[in-house]
Amino acid sequence: MDALDANDNMLALAKEKNVYGRLIQDFLGTNRLDVEDGEYDATVMSGGFLEGHVKCDCLEELIRVVRPGGFVVISMREVNLRKVPEYRNLEPRMAALQSEGCWEQVSRDIFPDYCEGEEGIIFVYRVC
């Protein structure tokens, strides 16, 4: 299991957990990460889709690093889909990537008390 974050302080905290094989300091976006195609069975993003953090254009890179049949899991505050202008485009972009044959939606679940009393949403996609 590896960790990716642009912030060296966050990676220092990740290192203290002593569970990550690789600590990758980079931004997740349209840039190509120092990760091979299909290297992972799954990617999990939690807390990335906050205002001022990653943009919707990062989805292709998440897909690229996961092997066909693997999973991309994204959890976030559900309200951000409406509140943050960038993330109003998130679900349409996810649907477009499905139409393009990049991945298929496995589930979309909303649940209570994700963070600070707000509902959360978890998207699970299987990479094609």
Q: Is residue 51 part of a domain?
A: yes
Q: Is residue 24 part of a domain?
A: no
Q: What is the pLDDT of residue 47?
A: 85
Q: Is residue 49 part of a domain?
A: yes
User: Number of structural domains, the chain?
Assistant: 1
- pTM metric for this prediction: 0.94
Q: What is the pLDDT of residue 100?
A: 98
Q: Is 81 exposed, middle or buried, given 0-12, 13-18 or 19+ CB atoms closer than 10 A?
A: middle
Q: Is residue 30 part of a domain?
A: no
- Rg (C-alpha) for the chain, rounded Å, is 14
Average pLDDT over residues 60-65: 98
Contact of 59 with 84, CB cutoff 8 Å: no
E-only strand ranges, the chain: 3-5, 23-25, 40-46, 66-77, 103-115, 118-127
Q: Is residue 1 part of a domain?
A: no
User: What CATH number is attached to the domain comprising 62?
Assistant: 3.40.50.150
Q: Is residue 113 part of a domain?
A: yes
The identity of residue 82, as a single letter, is R
Q: Is residue 88 part of a domain?
A: yes
Q: Is residue 121 part of a domain?
A: yes
Strand order through the sheet with 40-46:
40-46, 66-77, 118-127, 103-115
- Domain with 88 in it: 37-127
Q: What is the pLDDT of residue 67?
A: 98
